[in-house]
Amino acid sequence: KQEVTQIPAALSVPEGENLVLNCSFTDSAIYNLQWFRQDPGKGLTSLLLIQSSQREQTSGRLNASLDKSSGRSTLYIAASQPGDSATYLCAVLLYNFNKFYFGSGTKLNVKP
Amino acid sequence: DAGITQSPRHKVTETGTPVTLRCHQTENHRYMYWYRQDPGHGLRLIHYSYGVKDTDKGEVSDGYSVSRSKTEDFLLTLESATSSQTSVYFCAIKDGAGTEAFFGQGTRLTVV
């Protein structure tokens, strides 16, 4: 069974800092990996999708990288803002199944 | 935003009663999922569907059943609700393996 781990579980930074969130997975036979954000009491919002053949994907201040062989993905947030405060989740999709497995998330707090 | 509507958004029910949650999509996506989200457990897959009348179990399917008679609707039924099924339930849709997953806003279910 695929295990997905996100470290750290929580992170508090001052506004303006660049930061990195980590996602690791045990089975490298993934089809793709998706990053989401979740605001309190809300659903999940898709941020970035990286296919297994890609190394990076960028959207605005967000950059996600994928290293399948080592079972890791990172989400880089540049020049963080208080509006970035949320829980960030990664999910991996395996080959052979159209089910995706979630990490437990990193709760980010960006202080003004 | 992807066209996903979950209903109801909130529900309080008594132990032992049947409950049905509805997920409706306007995107004509092939795959639909039901997840539950609980503190300390993250998001866990209950059931998913890969087409009309085609469904399969996830990791926490006991006590739940699903039906998909039309592409746009995926129903989750708790045959006899228990307090352990108190949770936030999310529906997700996905068009194909290489595409993004999109989530609904969630249904908060309380079983008393």
pLDDT digits (tens, 9 = 90+) for A21-80: 999 999 888 889 999 999 998 999 999 999 999 999 999 999 999 999 999 999 999 999
The nearest CA of chain B is from the CA of A103 a distance in Å of 7
The nearest CA of chain B is from the CA of A82 a distance in Å of 22
Q: How far apart are CA A67 and CA A77, in angstroms?
A: 18
| Tens-place pLDDT, residues B43-94 | 999 999 999 999 999 999 999 999 999 999 999 999 999 999 999 999 999 9
Percent of chain B beyond pLDDT 70?
A: 98
Determine the pLDDT at residue A29.
86
Q: For residue B5, which of B104, B100, B107, B109 has the smallest C-alpha distance? A: B104
Interface contact A93, partner B, CB < 8 A: yes
Across the range B30-36, mean pLDDT stands at 96
DSSP H helices, A16-88, are none
Q: Return the H-helix or E-strand segment holding A72.
A: strand A72-77
* pLDDT greater than 80 at residue A96: no
The nearest CA of chain B is from the CA of A108 a distance in Å of 16
Interface contact A99, partner B, CB < 8 A: yes
Mean pLDDT of chain B: 95
- pLDDT level of residue B111 (50, 70, 90 thresholds): very high
Q: How far apart are CA A105 and CA A89, in angstroms?
A: 4
DSSP A26: S
DSSP A61: T
Contact A93 B97 (CB under 8 A): yes
Give me the residues of B, 34-63, that contact A with CB < 8 A: 35, 41-45, 48, 50, 58
